[in-house]
Structure 1
C-alpha cells in the first residue's frame, strides 16, 4: 500500500464522511442548498446516506480493494450529479464542489493504480 493511496483515500473518506454527517444530522446548510437547487428536502437524508455509503466503501477498500474502487467511482458520479444540480439553477458558487470533486477523482485515480 503506497503512502499516496492511503493519504488520498483517507482525505476523501474524511470529506465524504463529514458531508454525510452534516446531511444526516439535519444541519441547515444542506437544507438551504437543496432549496436553492430545487431538490425536495426529503431527499437530503438520502443524499447523506449515499455519502455515508461511499465513505464506508472507501474505508472498506483498505481490506477489499474492489470495494474502494466501486465506492470512489460512485462518489465521483455523486459529485458529477451535484455539478449538474448547481448548473441547472445557474449557481456558479462551485468552490466547495470543486474541492470535493478533485478529492474524489484523485481517489479514483489512486484506487485504479492500486488495484
Structure 2
C-alpha cells in the first residue's frame, strides 16, 4: 500500500506541477484552453498558482499528512471544476481533465487509505 501511495502521489504532483508551470510561464496551450472555455486570460496565473499549491501540498503531505489530504481534496475540486467547464461549453475534449481528476482522486484515496485523514 505504501509503494502505491508514494508512486501515485508523486505522479499526481509531477502532472499538476507541470500543468502549473505551463499556466505560469504563459504557454499558448493554457491560453487556448481558457479561450475555448470562454474564461479571461487573467485567470491563468491564478489557476497556475492553485495547481502549484496542490502539487506542493501533495509532496508536503509526506511530512505533514493533513497538508497532503487538503491538497488532494483541493486538486479533486479543481479538476471537477475543469471537467464542468469543458461540459459547460460543449467541449468533448474530456480526456485531459478526466486523467488529472482520476490521478487526483487516486492520490486522495491512497493517502486516506495509507495514513488516514490526519
TM class by smaller structure: over 0.9
CA shift at 1:100, angstroms?
Answer: 0.7
What is the alpha-carbon distance in structure 2 between the residues aligned to residue 58 and residue 101 of structure 1? Answer: 14
Aligned residues: 115
State the TM-score, normalized to the length of structure 1. 0.97
CA shift at 1:27, angstroms?
Answer: 0.1
SS in 1 for 2:4: helix
Structure 2 regions of 5+ residues with no counterpart? none
> Which position in structure 1 is the counterpart of 2:71?
71
CA shift at 1:82, angstroms?
Answer: 0.2
> Which position in structure 1 is the counterpart of 2:49?
49
CA shift at 1:26, angstroms?
Answer: 0.3
CA-based RMSD of the aligned residues comes to 0.9
Superposition pairs of residues 1-115 of structure 1, within 5 angstroms: 2-114=2-114, 115=116
Runs of 4+ residues over 2 Å off in structure 1:
none
